[in-house]
Amino acid sequence: MWYHRLSQIYCSIQHQLKGGVRHSALQFPCFQNRLLAAHRWQHTALGPLNCVWQQHEDHLELRYAGTVMRFDYVWLRDHCRSASCYNSKTNQRSLDTASVDLGIKPQTIRMNETMLFLTWPDGHVTRYSLEWLLKNSYEGQKQTIQPRILWNAEIYRQAQVLPVDFQSFLETKDGLKEFLQNFLLYGIAFVENVPPTREDTEKLAGRISLIRETIYGRMWNFTSDFSRGDTAYTKLALDRHTDTTYFQEPCGYNNYDRAVINTVPYDVVHRWYAAHRTLTTELRRPENELWIKLKPGKVLFIDNWRVLHGRESFTGYRQLCGCYLTRDDVLSTARFLGLQA
């Protein structure tokens, strides 16, 4: 009861002195220990609370917009956006991170409705908007990153994901954004009504990324030709796989087209085969396979870090063209369009 009355008096004084804004107990050292012990969270405003915070020994805990965030004090000092610490024109830091005391703590902390103010032992003041902290916190990042859907054939069919039209893809931001949104969600996306030429396929790919030059050239164009010494150039079935696993910067995992296993000792390699058997069984479950018959004019993009691909054996004449894109550029294009890639 005594603390409740003391808190009322304290809030009344703060309200009169600060025009209705209640600041942290750090501004009143005589009340500090009791208030921290009895009232765990510090509030930024009277009435409906939009932000509360608590100072810990090694970090600041902030509850804002339904998210609890935790910030290391060194991180808060290092990311200061003041003119002496950060060049807002080049978006590069001027502060030498190695010069920040690893045991640094703010001398005072205060807030208003939108901003956090930290005063450091040397008198330097760091200002952060609460929205910036939410966007750039570890906890906030987990909420804002573009979602990925863990899908199987039935989930994908029920989603009824529509392909994007070629002209919309090339000529409008909305068409390109819709395509990239599908690609990020599922790891595959389609464009239709593409003129069935190598040149138009190249134009399509160049819309979202630099085309990666590989040992196969910039664009590859092939039909059945066993003289090439590659199963992909035959009419044989291809098991589930990703491409270029033999590169120094591979796209992903390849289940069957691999080099000799000579980096695993004999007493461990049997466990490798057991794990391989478990993974292969899962990959070959019919419910995890989506079968699509490609026709001239329909282009398929595949995220090789996420989705495996293959084909059934075939007869007759079949011709394909394609290329590899740089992952960084695809994600950069998505971010430019406002997607959290």
Residue 137 belongs to a domain: yes
Shared domain check, 249 and 287 = yes
Mean pLDDT of 46-68: 82
Domain end, chosen from 144, 172, 197, is at: 144
Domain end, chosen from 116, 144, 172, is at: 144
Place of tokens 């004019």: 297
Specify the DSSP class assigned to residue 136: H
The pLDDT, as a whole number, for residue 40 is 52
The pLDDT, as a whole number, for residue 158 is 93
Mean pLDDT of 264-276: 88
- Domain residues for the domain of 101 are 40-144
Shared domain check, 197 and 130 = no
Higher pLDDT among residues 48 and 306, named by residue = 306
The pLDDT, as a whole number, for residue 28 is 35
How does pLDDT run across 117-149, given as a tens digit for each residue? 999 999 999 999 999 999 889 888 765 556 788
Shared domain check, 305 and 164 = yes
Shared domain check, 138 and 162 = no
Shared domain check, 299 and 245 = yes
- pLDDT band with cut points at 50, 70 and 90 for residue 250: low
The pLDDT, as a whole number, for residue 168 is 96
Quickly list H helices, the chain.
Answer: 2-17, 29-38, 73-78, 130-136, 138-144, 153-159, 166-171, 173-186, 198-206, 266-283, 327-336
Residue 184 belongs to a domain: yes
Q: List the CATH number of the domain containing 206.
A: 3.60.130.10
Q: DSSP readout, 237-290?
A: -EEEE-S-TTSSS--S--SSS-----SS-HHHHHHHHHHHHHHHHHHT-GGG--
pTM of the model: 0.58
Domains identified in the chain, total number: 2
Mean pLDDT of 245-270: 69
Residue 279 belongs to a domain: yes
Higher pLDDT among residues 30 and 136, named by residue = 136
Q: What is the mean pLDDT of the chain?
A: 79
